[in-house]
Chains A and B, each alone.
Chain A
Amino acid sequence: MLTSKGIKNVKEGFPLKIQAEEVRNVDIDFDREFISRTIPKLDWNALIFAAQCVGHQEDLPETLPESYDNDEDLLKKLHHILLEVEVVNGCLECPETKRKFPISNGIPNILMILPTIVLLQVLRIQERLQELQLSVKSQTPDHRARKPQEARKSPPI
């Protein structure tokens, strides 16, 4: 589902290599209809690659058989690899730049983090802007609307 195409000069950025440090199995009820509908949307080679990365490749055939919808065993294996094997901690590696994106607590973070030197420059500019805003603010009245947290205190339905 994820790519590193956002990195400069990356052509495809897919598939990202999963380097799993911690994997866990969860129990999810098998829904035949969901698996059956999901299969046509899968990039089979990418799925095999991902399964290999987490040590589950032996469960899946090299190519998707045409009669997959009648193969209950295959559908259950797909259910397992798609929904029940979770990478808790690890990273995703861009195939072209080798840049790593962390996975923590099951959540991949693919925000493009700026290199430190650029980040420091951005922070300095932000500080300067804040100083300028404060000096303007002290001279003019504040006409900004109230923040929504102040307006919205009613309890949930």
Chain B
Amino acid sequence: MDQVDKIKTPDFSHITSEDLNHIYEPSEDSFLLIDALEKDLAFIRKREPTVCLEVGTGSGVVITALGSVLGPQCQYMGTDINPRACSITQETGRANGVNIACVCTDLVANVIDRVKGTIDVLLFNPPYVVTPSEEVGQGDLEYTWAGGVKGREVLDRLLPSVEALLSPKGLFYLLVLKENDPEEIASIMESRGFSCECLMRRRTGPENLMVLRFCRKGSQ
């Protein structure tokens, strides 16, 4: 496959307004994550990835965008707690020529044991909005944005699994809000042997978004 340096925004016109009552509409944060992956494409390609996993795929635009440039030599997998999101993710993949295997599960539950140490690119755009804890997971749309205390309650459940999931050269791309305390996240990951770099920032309305990339220390 000829190498492409730009990521074209995937077509998601098949997503209906009824779908958007249940899944997260691709928005500025989704596009920021795609832009960051585009910026980091050379870095990713040097590692010759073969397995990419997105946790919480939603509409599937991000994993599809990555698949559209890395091509069929990679396996693309996604998880989402919402079965409708899984279905739409596969459709988004198909509409853009990317084959995505989607599983309906909570983060990586019942998946992690078999994929330990194999994930070369891990993606996560978590529900990051700071909300009261009770709002986390209260409905389809709440799953997509309610992040509880510091907007970290869902992310903090995935962080302990990242080290086990990633391959030796694995990369973890994470979208966060300033309120999620990225310095603390970086410090937690550093204690597990990961270095952190902020690849991109963007201010959209009241939100200060950033994309962090984690890789094992010494593997840069």
Contact = CB atoms under 8 A, between A and B. Distances in A.
Given A34-B50, A106-B90, A146 B206 contact: yes
B110 A34 contact: no
A150 B204 CA distance: 12
| Interface residues on chain A, size class | 35 or more
A95 interface: no
Interface residues of B, number: 45
B134 interface: yes
Most buried by B among A110, A129, A144, A154: A110
B86 A107 contact: yes
A28 interface: yes
Given A112-B109, A148-B129, A107 B103 contact: yes
B29 interface: yes
A107 B83 contact: yes
Contacts of B9: 156-157
Contacts of B204: 151-152, 154
Interface stretch (A2-10, A47-55, A67-75): A2-10
Contacts of A152: 27-29, 204-205, 207
Contacts of B196: none
A118 interface: no
B118 interface: yes
A97 interface: no
Where chain A touches its partner, the secondary structure class is loop
Contacts of B25: 149
A8 B83 CA distance: 23
A65 B29 CA distance: 47
A45 interface: no
A4 B113 CA distance: 10
Nearest to A82: B75
B47 to A, nearest CB: 13
8 contacts: A1-B114, A14-B114, A31-B73, A109-B103, A110-B110, A151-B206, A154-B27, A157-B9
Given A106-B90, A149-B145, 10 more contacts: A1-B114, A13-B113, A31-B72, A34-B74, A109-B105, A111-B106, A151-B205, A151-B207, A154-B27, A156-B9
Interface of B: 9, 25-29, 31, 35, 50-51, 72-75, 77, 81, 83, 86-87, 90, 99, 101-106, 109-111, 113-115, 118, 129-132, 134, 141, 145, 204-207
